[in-house]
Amino acid sequence: MSINLAAITTTALVNGLNPCGIGMMITFLGYLIVFGGVEKTKKQKIKKSKFGIDLDSKILRQGLLYLLSVFVTYLFLGLFFYGLAFYLQRLWLASVFKYIMAGILVVAGLIQFKDVFWEHLPFHLRMSNKGYEKINLLLARSGKWMAVLVGVLTTAFSTPCMLPLYIGTTSYIAKSGLPMWQVFSLFVYYNLVFILPILVILLVMVGGKQVVEMKEWEHKYNKQLRFLMSLFLFGIAYFLVK
């Protein structure tokens, strides 16, 4: 089975635009700005790129560490779920596995669609309050390894909202029967595209955009992003069963 690279690219981009990931990145950078001591003294020379980005900024360094942590964690998660899906598709339940996965994706898509119009109703695909509390406690600490740990925990606690699309894509790749080196390349590519929107958020905030402005943007487009995610969840479900 051939792989639709355009579909994988768009799915990765939409998953990267997930309110969970963007919201956590804005919160993380907000903590760095307020508590991380990122301001330089007047005697320090600020080295900026032609786009007005402070190349020596602590926000930039910590943000890139955070992104690298998210990238590596999601890459390993993807390979794990690929192995699981590859194995299950070759057992006796192979004929029904794709329908089970498609059913899960449709349910996830319906929940995302529900949150666009009826957010007050129960059942949501979002990070739990407990997850937010644990990450916020960690954000109060300093040090470069804090960014790495926050990236790993964000990946873990964001699974309800970010994993359905990823697992759907993983099952789609497992169905293709491609050799392992191509599979690995696809996962590297997917995750590079996945972190692209968060990288843009990082560069925008390092360039001087205020946390409040970014939070307003996130809130303004939250429903549109959830609607997009619901459509892509339905789309991946279709690709799995066709």
**pLDDT tens-place string over residues 193-202:** 998 988 888 8
SS3 labels along the chain: CCCCHHHHHHHHHHHHCCHHHHHHHHHHHHHHHHHCCCCCCCCCCCCECCCCCECCCHHHHHHHHHHHHHHHHHHHHHHHHHHHHHHHCCCCCHHHHHHHHHHHHHHHHHHHHHHHHCCCCCCCCCCCHHHHHHHHHHHCCCCHHHHHHHHHHHHHHCHHHHHHHHHHHHHHHHHHCCCHHHHHHHHHHHHHHHHHHHHHHHHHHHCCCCHHHHHHHHHHCHHHHHHHHHHHHHHHHHHHHC
**pLDDT tens-place string over residues 166-176:** 888 888 888 87
Q: What is the mean pLDDT of the chain?
A: 76
**pLDDT tens-place string over residues 62-95:** 888 888 988 999 999 889 988 887 777 676 566 6
Looking at residue 42, its pLDDT comes to 40
Looking at residue 3, its pLDDT comes to 81
Q: How confident is the model at residue 188 (pLDDT cuts 50, 70, 90)?
A: very high
CA-closest candidate to residue 143, choices 55, 21, 37, 68: 37
